[in-house]
Amino acid sequence: MAADGRAFWRSDWFFAVAVATCALFWWSGGAFFASLSNPLILAAIFGLLFVVILGSALSAVRHADHLAAHFGEPFGTLILTLAVTFIEVMSISAIMLHGDPNPTLVRDTLLSVIMISLNGLVGLSLLTGALRHKEQSYNLQGANAYLGLILPLAVMSVVLPDYTVTSAGPTLSTQQRFVLALFSIALYCGFLLIQTGRHRGYFTLGEEPGHEQRGAGGSTVPFHVAMLTAYLVPVVYLAEQMAHPVDYVIETLKQPTILGGVAIALLVTSPEGVSAVRAARANHLQRSINILFGSVLSSIGLTVPIMLLIVYWYGLPITLGVEHADLVVLLLTLGLSIVTFSSGRTNALQGGVHVLLFVTFLLLIVQG
């Protein structure tokens, strides 16, 4: 029993850090947030919260990976996707419901997730895999299935609002939001039926794990389910605390509002990104594609409808349409993704192009 306990703390010591951080902000959060005008304190608070939330998310993903090894693809990726979607929804809700209304946060987060996943992480995965294995293969039918949903959902969610005239600005009317939410959820549920049922083979390439990987102390599925759930609890609480420094930077310091969306996107994509890059390096590009494309699809198909319901319930404004240079980069990213994943094989050049497009997105944040 003692050996099991020692093994647990060797692998899950970060859980104590997360709990201690929650306790610290529970008792002293008010004093911390009263001193945000001090740049050093602002940076320290944001850095601490970001690192602990990210560490908790990475730990949750580690336990999700154990479950993925047990259940195999595509169920393993689905577990990972749903866990990260939960983190995304909680983080966006915490910031939107704190301070002044931020009507562009959902749009900014979705755009950032697409840019980070389809450009930054896809490019890094392709480069990492190509440097070690030269060319890599994937199931073309699976990639097409993902892109066949990502393209229409992305356009309807963040491009179509720029051209509707029922409501002023890049927005949708209440009825249009309702239809978009139903449309997104219906397509996502249909995709899950295909992914886990009739066409499950589209999302594998003969490389899925066959047996459960044991964790700390010979732990099994119930242990990993419990720890996955346990790590999500501090993520929810600390996300609410992170809303304070994020709002201060945007509202008081008048920095670009997209920074809030980028911060959330980094939190929700980093755990999946680590798994995706590792998979590509191990020549399991299909799993890497499942993770990254699944992340984008869940953000559009699940996060957007849920947030539309939340803003409707609380009567908050929401702006969905991507404008100006961001619109150009978004459309270029979607088109480039079609070209990259059209042959069944990838190479380093394709990865490099995606990375450069991600760098362009970052430059536009600084100088749009």
Q: Please state the rounded mean pLDDT for residues 182-208.
A: 80
Q: Which CATH class is domain 2-366?
A: mainly alpha
Q: What is the pLDDT of residues 228-254, one digit of tens each?
A: 888 888 888 888 888 889 888 888 888
Residue 319 pLDDT > 50: yes
- Of the candidates 26, 76, 8, 22, the one whose C-alpha atom is nearest the C-alpha of residue 223 is 8
Q: What is the pLDDT of residues 132-155, one digit of tens each?
A: 888 888 888 888 999 999 999 999
What's the pLDDT at 206?
Answer: 61
Q: Which long-range contacts (CB under 8 A, 24 or more apart) does 217-224 make?
A: 217/3, 217/4, 217/5, 217/7, 217/8, 218/4, 219/66, 221/67, 221/70, 224/63, 224/64, 224/66, 224/67
Give, to the nearest 10 degrees, the angle between helix 2-12 and helix 14-33. Answer: 50
Considering only residues 356 and 210, tell me which one the structure prediction assigns the higher pLDDT.
356
Q: What is the pLDDT of residues 47-83, one digit of tens each?
A: 999 999 888 888 887 887 777 777 765 666 677 677 7
Token digits for 346? 């990838």
What's the pLDDT at 328?
Answer: 94
Rg of the chain's alpha carbons, rounded to an integer? 20
d(CA 42, CA 35): 8
What's the pLDDT at 83?
Answer: 76
- Of the candidates 208, 203, 193, the one whose C-alpha atom is nearest the C-alpha of residue 139 is 203
Report the range of poorest mean pLDDT among 36-50, 96-110, 291-305, 344-358. 96-110
Q: Please state the rounded mean pLDDT for residues 273-291.
A: 87
Report the range of poorest mean pLDDT among 95-104, 150-159, 208-217. 208-217
Whether the CB-CB separation of 54 and 199 falls below 8 Å is answered with no
Query: Can you give the residue ranges of every domain in the chain?
Result: 2-366
Res. 368 pLDDT band, cuts 50 70 90? low
Token digits for 172? 């949708």
Integer CA distances (angstroms), 17 to 47, 88, 279, 343, in order: 14, 21, 28, 46
- Say which amino acid occupies 110: L
Q: Please state the rounded mean pLDDT for residues 326-353.
A: 92
Q: What b/e readout covers 130-150, taking b as 16+ CB neighbours within 10 angstroms?
A: beeeeebbbbeebbebbbebb
What pTM does this model have? Answer: 0.85
Q: What percent of the chain has pLDDT over 90?
A: 32
Total Cβ atoms within 10 A of residue 261: 25
Residue 217 pLDDT > 60: no
What's the pLDDT at 49?
Answer: 92
Integer CA distances (angstroms), 94 to 39, 190, 353, in order: 23, 30, 35
Res. 341 pLDDT band, cuts 50 70 90? very high
Q: What is the pLDDT of residues 149-177, one digit of tens each?
A: 999 999 999 999 999 988 888 889 999 99
